[in-house]
Amino acid sequence: MARKLFISYTHHDADLMGELRAHIRPLERAGVVTPWFDGYLIPGDEFDRKVREALAESDFIAALVTARFLDSDYCMDVEMEEAIRRHQQGLARVVPIIAKPCRWKLTSLSDLLATPTDGKAVTTWANQDQAWDIVAQAIERAAAATVESPSVVANRRPVELRKPQTPEVARRSAPRTTFSIPKSTRPTDQQKDDFRHEAFEIVADAFEASIAALEGPVAGRFRRLDANRFTATLYREGQKIAGCTVFTGTGHFGANGIAYSGNDNGETNSMNEDLFVEAGEEGLSLRATMSGHFGGDRDRLLTPEEGAAQLWNLLTDRLRY
């Protein structure tokens, strides 16, 4: 018998929802799952009541996790609160699908095994179809698994569903990633590459979280193009006012650092800033090679978080005028 699957998502991620539905469609045709999401509602339905009824009848719940999802009061305070309660009581299973980089590990979803592999966000995979296929396999396994009985979970430590912190607080409180090397030791190419890729993920996370937190007349769009590129666009009352492409390890520009281009067309044939990986006394850091024009200190070594802030300042510079 097909297992009832409730999919929790935010409408901001409708494109990701479309990908998920396409990849689990074979499971639906094979009678493995019967998916439900709010797209099945028809005009005149009582939205909240229908959603709660579908959630209560589900055998397992998939959460399409992004920064927008974590920011949604309805997704987190209504759907996930009930989903976690059912999970704890042994009535259903919750499967977090990490679709975009976000601070999901600061929520109680971090207590659950996420998909795809190691909770690496789908949009960061070089082959996203492979990531979605891993997600579909995880849902198939979850559908086949038996749900723990209430007696098994009775003595389990309760998990408190907590909302994510604001992007600013999260970046301050999250453990800082460090790549230490002994003093007077020359770092290997692997150490530099590991640091560069991790720093790029921190920059991407900071941009996505900051855009999601925008309020008032200024809005934005974050698009992860592949594992090495993303674009960010800002609008004021619907009019585009700024955009950028941030990339690493691509061609000549950004080959050994993180490059910033002042357009959002995704091209990597020019740059306005380059955060170069450099070894200092305390380990590996970033150095802005073109920051003098913007009032920065070219001799100052930056942490990945400081590098993210400097690139964000480049994007928002024209908002000051």
Distance CA 276, CA 288 (A): 6
Contact 14, 68 (CB under 8 A): no
Sign (positive or negative) of CA dihedral 207, 212, 218, 219: positive
- pLDDT of amino acid 270: 86
Q: Quick one: pLDDT at residue 89?
A: 86
Picking from 10, 14, 16, the residue whose alpha carbon sits closest to that of residue 73 is 10
Per-residue pLDDT 10s for the chain (321 aa) are 789 999 999 998 988 999 999 999 999 999 999 999 988 888 888 888 999 999 999 999 999 999 999 999 999 999 999 999 888 888 899 999 999 999 998 888 888 889 998 889 999 998 999 999 999 999 999 988 755 444 333 344 443 444 444 444 444 444 444 445 444 467 788 888 888 888 999 999 889 888 888 877 888 999 998 888 999 999 988 899 999 999 998 655 657 899 999 999 998 888 889 998 888 766 788 988 876 444 445 567 888 888 999 899 999 886 765
Strands 229-236 and 239-248: what pairing? antiparallel
Going by C-alpha positions, the residue among 6, 163, 8 that lies closest to residue 70 is 163
Q: Which value, to the nearest 10 degrees, does the dihedral of the CA atoms of residues 99, 101, 107, 112 take?
A: 50
- For 11, the token pair is 């409408």
Query: Which residues, listed in sequence order, are joined to residue 64 by a DSSP beta bridge?
Result: 97
- The domain limits of the chain are 3-164, 172-320
Two tokens at 279?
């070894």
**What's the rounded Cα separation, in Å, for the pair 6 and 50?**
12
**CATH classification code of 3-164:** 3.40.50.10140
Check residue 173 and give left, alpha or beta (phi > 0: left; psi -120 to 50: alpha). Answer: alpha
The pLDDT, as a whole number, for residue 23 is 95
